[in-house]
């Protein structure tokens, strides 16, 4: 006997399934098609096929008060965007500033789509003042930001005040800011990817289990969906004391191998360029299984006093080229030639005597480095 289901019974069964199965699914955050495209582009930018660290400089776009400077800003931002894409060859850009200041950069990047070098994904830095805005202002800002071409993600500081020392410390901060989950949902709805920034306290030790629990908790804060990347930042301390002690400028946390395949992890680097400090910081991040480096604007000497975008572009072009160079930064060698009369050594001793006699002038001349133009002895 074949069982027959009436139309009313079928509708009743559908309503039961909708209540039991579909409702919990809606509790999770969902990504729009544009947000999924943004996830794909950012995932490609944050990971290198060769396993090397990807480099992402931070840009602080000025907000001039002079009307003439305001008109010229669009040209300067467009030029800066082109330099970072073609010369510096950055993997991604973290940009802080107003949406109006960001628009020319996004337009320039999007115009390069289909060409080589292609566009660089832009991540907008959500400042603390932005987070304090009301719901209407929040949606309005995200709506305007979604109309800017090239913006694929939004950096959200999950820990605003002090750095966290443990998994429990993260839970306390998140419980005090219940709007984070709503903010992540609004960013996904706007077609972009939320990227959490976690500030880690100095001198803390994290076990592998604690890091896994922390990443799972961040996933829950984002609405039950893994973010495309997580940025870890070291808690800021007294800069003078930090430089005097030559302390680490990167977050002191190691990413487990199991998590590095799940999503990308980016470590923040905040140290003044010169004497190989940036190179040393990158080696630390690489040893801690990070996928990328977030090079903060603090690396640019004097950027707060003179935020000249031409100088900033020149600095990052030189810095990223040096950091990506395969040449060894620390090596020395001596060449010995054994001949019957050892003529090279005799010629060397002769030239040494001439130089030490002062016949060629004094050797203590001025340095050939022009620091004002962005020349530094190693990055």
Give pLDDT tens digits for 266-316: 999 999 888 889 999 999 999 999 999 999 999 998 777 667 899 999 999
Query: 151-157 and 229-234: which strand pairing?
Result: unpaired
Burial of residue 268, with CB atoms counted within 10 A of its CB: 0-12 exposed, 13-18 middle, 19 or more buried: buried
Residue 317 has pLDDT above 90, yes or no: yes
Structure tokens at 369: 């480095």
Structure tokens at 162: 């002090």
Going from the C-alpha of 361 to that of each of 271, 318, 349, 355, 357, the distances in angstroms are 38, 33, 18, 8, 9
Angle at 6 between CA 5 and CA 11, to 5 degrees: 95
Q: 3-class DSSP state for residue 95?
A: strand
Whole-number pLDDT of residue 47: 95
* Euclidean distance between CA atoms 42 and 346, whole angstroms: 60
76-132: pLDDT as tens digits: 999 999 999 999 999 999 999 999 999 999 999 999 999 999 999 999 998 754 444
203-245: pLDDT as tens digits: 888 999 999 999 999 999 999 999 999 999 999 876 544 453 4
Whole-number pLDDT of residue 1: 41
Alpha-helical runs (H) found in 147-288: 167-175, 179-189, 208-221, 239-245, 257-260, 277-287
Structure tokens at 239: 């800069």
320-366: pLDDT as tens digits: 999 988 665 554 444 444 545 556 666 667 777 776 766 665 555 55
Q: Structural domains in the chain?
A: 27-324 (3.20.20.70)
């Amino acid at each position: 006997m074949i069982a027959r289901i009436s139309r009313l019974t079928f509708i009743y069964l559908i309503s039961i399934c909708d209540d039991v199965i579909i409702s919990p699914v809606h509790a999770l955050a969902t990504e729009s098609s544009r947000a999924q495209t943004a996830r794909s582009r950012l995932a490609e930018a944050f990971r290198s096929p060769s396993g090397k660290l990807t480099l992402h400089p931070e840009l602080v776009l000025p907000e001039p008060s002079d009307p003439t400077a305001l008109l010229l800003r669009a040209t300067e931002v467009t030029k800066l965007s082109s330099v970072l894409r073609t010369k510096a060859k950055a993997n991604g850009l973290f940009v802080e500033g107003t949406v109006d200041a960001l628009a020319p950069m996004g337009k320039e990047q999007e115009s390069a789509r289909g060409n080589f070098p292609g566009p660089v994904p832009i991540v907008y830095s959500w400042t603390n003042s932005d987070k304090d805005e009301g719901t209407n202002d929040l949606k309005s800002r995200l709506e305007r930001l979604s109309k800017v071409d090239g913006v694929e993600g939004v950096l959200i500081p999950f820990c605003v005040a002090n750095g966290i020392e443990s998994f429990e410390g993260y839970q306390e901060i998140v419980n005090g800011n219940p709007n984070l989950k709503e903010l992540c949902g609004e960013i996904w709805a706007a077609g972009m990817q939320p990227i959490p920034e976690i500030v880690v306290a100095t001198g803390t030790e994290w076990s592998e289990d604690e890091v896994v629990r922390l990443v799972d908790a961040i996933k829950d804060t984002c609405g039950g969906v893994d973010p495309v990347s997580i940025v870890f930042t070291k808690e800021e301390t007294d800069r003078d004391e930090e430089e005097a002690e030559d302390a680490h400028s990167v977050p002191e946390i190691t990413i487990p191998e199991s998590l590095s395949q799940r999503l990308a992890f980016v470590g923040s680097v905040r140290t003044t360029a010169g004497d190989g400090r940036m190179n040393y910081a990158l080696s630390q991040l690489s040893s801690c299984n990070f996928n990328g480096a977030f090079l903060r604007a603090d690396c640019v000497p004097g950027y707060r006093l003179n935020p000249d975008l031409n100088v900033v572009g020149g600095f990052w072009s030189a810095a990223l080229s040096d950091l990506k160079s395969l040449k060894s930064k620390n090596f020395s060698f001596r060449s010995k030639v054994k001949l019957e009369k050892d003529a090279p050594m005799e010629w060397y001793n002769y030239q040494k005597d001439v130089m030490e006699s002062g016949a060629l002038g004094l050797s203590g001349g001025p340095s050939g480095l022009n620091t004002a133009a962005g020349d530094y002895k190693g990055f």
